Structure 1
Amino acid sequence: MTPIKKNGEIMTGTSPSSSVELSLFNKKGPSSSFVEKKGPEDNDSGYYQEAVVNGPSSDTHSGDFDANGGNDSAGHGGLNRDLQARHITMIAIGGALGTGLVIGSGASLAAAGPGALLLSFMIVGVIVWLVMCALGEMATWLPLSEGFPGYASRFADPALGFAVGWIYYIKYIIVAPNQLTAAALVIQYWVSREVVNPGIWVAIFLVTLVTLNLFGVKIFGEMEFWLSCIKVVTMLGLIFLTMVIALGGGPDHDRRGFRYWKDPGAFRPFEKNGQVMHGSAGKVVSSLSVMVTAVFAFMGTELVGVTVGEAENPRRNIPRAIKLTFYRICLFYIVSVLFLGMCVPYNDAGLAFTKSGKTGAAASPFVVAITNAGIGKLDQVINAALLLFILSGSNSDMYIATRTLYGLASNGIAPKVFLRVNRFGIPYVSLGFTATFGLLSLLCISSSAQRVFTIFVNIVSVMGLLTWICILWTHICFVKGMEAQKIDTSKMVYRAPLGKIGSWVALVFCCMIALLKNFTAFIFDFDSVSFVTGYVGIPIFIITFWVYKLVKKTHRVGALEIDYECMEKRKVDEEEKLFLEAEKRRLEEFPPSVWEKIYNNSLGYLF
Structure 2
Amino acid sequence: MAGLFSRNRNNEKGEKAPAPVQEVAPGEYSSEEGILGPASLLLGYALMGFVVYVVMVALGEMGAWLPMKKSFSGYASRFVDPAMGFATGWNYFFKYVIVLPNNLTATGILLQKWRPDINVSVWIVVFGVAIIILNLIHVSFFGEAEFWMSLIKALVIMMLILLCFIIALGGGPNGVRTGFYFWQSPGAFAEYSVTIGNNTHVVPGDTGRFLGVWACIVQATFAYLGTELVGVAFGETPNPRKNVPRAVTQTLLRIVFFYIAGVLVLGMAVPYNSKELAQATKKGTSGLASPFTVAAQIAGVAHLDDAVNGLLLIFTISAANSDVYLASRTVWALGKDGQAPHIMQRTNRNGVPVPAVALSSLFIALGFMNATKTAATVFGYFVALVTVFGALNWVAVLVSYIAMIRAMKVQGVDRSVMPYRNVLLPWGAYIALAITVVVIIFSGYAAFIPYFQVDKFLTAYIGIPVYVINVLWWKFVKKTKRVRPEEVDLFTGRRT
- Output the CA distance in 1 between the equivalents of 2:277 and 2:32: 11
- Output the CA distance in 1 between the equivalents of 2:400 and 2:390: 15
Alignment-derived partner of residue 171 in structure 2 = 249
Alignment-derived partner of residue 132 in structure 1 = 56
Q: What TM-score results when the alignment is normalised by the length of structure 1?
A: 0.73
CA contact (8 A) 1:111 1:290 kept: no
Q: 1:150 aligns with which of 58, 62, 74?
A: 74
Structure 1 residues 404 and 558, CA, compared in 2 at 3 Å: closer, same or farther? same
CA contact (8 A) 1:480 1:559 kept: yes
Q: 1:179 aligns with which of 103, 125, 141?
A: 103
**Identity of aligned pairs, percent?**
42
Alignment-derived partner of residue 262 in structure 1 = 184
SS state of the match for residue 112, structure 1?
coil
Q: 1:387 aligns with which of 313, 323, 347?
A: 313
Alignment-derived partner of residue 23 in structure 2 = none
Structure 1 residues 167 and 229, CA, compared in 2 at 3 Å: closer, same or farther? same
- Output the CA distance in 1 between the equivalents of 2:58 and 2:375: 37
Q: How does 1:42-191 map to 2 (within 5 A)?
A: 110-191=34-115
- Output the CA distance in 1 between the equivalents of 2:462 and 2:330: 21
More helix by share: 2
- Output the CA distance in 1 between the equivalents of 2:59 and 2:175: 47
> Is 1:200–2:122 an aligned residue pair?
yes
Q: Deviations over 1:499-540 (max 9, x none)?
A: 221111111111111111112322431121211111111111
Query: Which amino acid in the other structure matches residue 217 of structure 1?
Result: V
Q: 1:237 aligns with which of 142, 156, 159?
A: 159
- Output the CA distance in 1 between the equivalents of 2:421 and 2:133: 42
SS state of the match for residue 275, structure 1?
strand
Structure 1 residues 454 and 351, CA, compared in 2 at 3 Å: closer, same or farther? farther
User: CA offset at residue 361 of structure 1?
Assistant: 5.6
Q: Deviations over 1:466-515 (max 9, x none)?
A: 11011111111100111111113332111132222111111111111111
Q: Deviations over 1:245-287 (max 9, x none)?
A: 1111111212122232233322221223422221111110121
Query: Which amino acid in the other structure matches residue 298 of structure 1?
Result: Y
SS state of the match for residue 339, structure 2?
coil
- Output the CA distance in 2 between the equivalents of 1:454 and 1:353: 18
- Output the CA distance in 2 between the equivalents of 1:348 and 1:448: 24
Query: Which amino acid in the other structure matches residue 234 of structure 1?
Result: V
User: CA offset at residue 338 of structure 1?
Assistant: 0.4
Alignment-derived partner of residue 243 in structure 2 = 317
Query: Which amino acid in the other structure matches residue 508 of structure 1?
Result: A
- Output the CA distance in 2 between the equivalents of 1:140 and 1:267: 42
Q: How does 1:273-352 map to 2 (within 5 A)?
A: 273=196, 274-351=200-277
> Is 1:439–2:439 an aligned residue pair?
no
- Output the CA distance in 2 between the equivalents of 1:403 and 1:202: 22
5+ unaligned residues in a row in structure 2: which ranges? Answer: 1-30
CA contact (8 A) 1:248 1:255 kept: yes
Larger radius of gyration: 1
Q: 1:506 aligns with which of 385, 409, 432?
A: 432
User: CA offset at residue 359 of structure 1?
Assistant: 5.8
Query: Which amino acid in the other structure matches residue 40 of structure 2?
Result: A
Q: 1:478 aligns with which of 404, 417, 436?
A: 404
Q: Deviations over 1:351-388 (max 9, x none)?
A: 47877x23656552222222332222332211111111
Query: Which amino acid in the other structure matches residue 275 of structure 1?
Result: H
CA contact (8 A) 2:106 2:287 kept: no
Q: 1:367 aligns with which of 277, 293, 296?
A: 293
CA contact (8 A) 1:481 1:562 kept: yes
- Output the CA distance in 2 between the equivalents of 1:175 and 1:309: 25
- Output the CA distance in 2 between the equivalents of 1:529 and 1:114: 29
CA contact (8 A) 1:408 1:414 kept: yes
- Output the CA distance in 1 between the equivalents of 2:351 and 2:278: 42
Query: Which amino acid in the other structure matches residue 172 of structure 1?
Result: Y
- Output the CA distance in 1 between the equivalents of 2:61 and 2:330: 22
CA contact (8 A) 1:352 1:363 kept: no
Q: What TM-score results when the alignment is normalised by the length of structure 2?
A: 0.89
Structure 1 residues 521 and 109, CA, compared in 2 at 3 Å: closer, same or farther? closer
CA contact (8 A) 1:351 1:362 kept: no
User: CA offset at residue 184 of structure 1?
Assistant: 1.4
> Is 1:416–2:338 an aligned residue pair?
no
CA contact (8 A) 2:106 2:379 kept: yes
Alignment-derived partner of residue 464 in structure 1 = 390
- Output the CA distance in 2 between the equivalents of 1:508 and 1:108: 28
- Output the CA distance in 1 between the equivalents of 2:54 and 2:415: 19
Higher relative contact order (CA 8 A, sep 6+): 2
Query: Which amino acid in the other structure matches residue 225 of structure 1?
Result: F
Structure 1 residues 297 and 360, CA, compared in 2 at 3 Å: closer, same or farther? closer
- Output the CA distance in 1 between the equivalents of 2:126 and 2:371: 14
SS state of the match for residue 145, structure 1?
coil
5+ unaligned residues in a row in structure 1: which ranges? Answer: 1-106, 574-607
Q: Deviations over 1:286-318 (max 9, x none)?
A: 211232211110011111233335434444322
SS state of the match for residue 376, structure 1?
coil
User: CA offset at residue 447 of structure 1?
Assistant: 2.0
Q: Deviations over 1:138-170 (max 9, x none)?
A: 110011111111011001111111111111110
